[in-house]
Amino acid sequence: MIESVPAGFVKFYESKVFTEETVPQKLKTLHDTKPGIWARIVVLEGCLDYVVPDSPERSRRLESGDYGVIRPTEPHRVELLGKVRFKLEFLGA
């Protein structure tokens, strides 16, 4: 089952599309979002692993057309698996 962002949250920002060559190093190392900010990592092409070290059951492989939900303040990172295109969508109440 794919987790969803809580009702009432709307997208207020969308990142540019990243590739395996343009992804910021910060996304590949452990980081989080601010309190109250949810996000979606949307895979447009290829695949990557969304890793939540403190909650392995929330870690998952995301393939083209998939998205992962990033909870506020939850430490996470991505592992790229070859050629990939993805973006981030940030949502707030």
CATH architecture under which domain 10-92 falls: Sandwich (2.60)
Domains of the chain by residue range: 10-92
Determine which helix (DSSP H) or strand (DSSP E) holds 26, and give its type and residue range: helix 25-28
Q: How far apart are CA 65 and CA 75, in angstroms?
A: 23
Residue type at 12 in one-letter notation: F
- Do β-strands 18-19 and 38-51 pair in parallel, antiparallel, or remain unpaired? unpaired
Which residues are CB-contacts of 87 (< 8 A; sequence separation ≥ 6)? 14, 15, 16, 17, 18, 41, 42, 44
Pairing of β 77-92 and β 10-14: antiparallel
Q: How confident is the model at residue 3 (pLDDT cuts 50, 70, 90)?
A: confident
Q: How does pLDDT run across 25-75, given as a tens digit for each residue?
A: 999 999 999 999 999 999 999 999 999 999 989 999 999 999 999 999 999
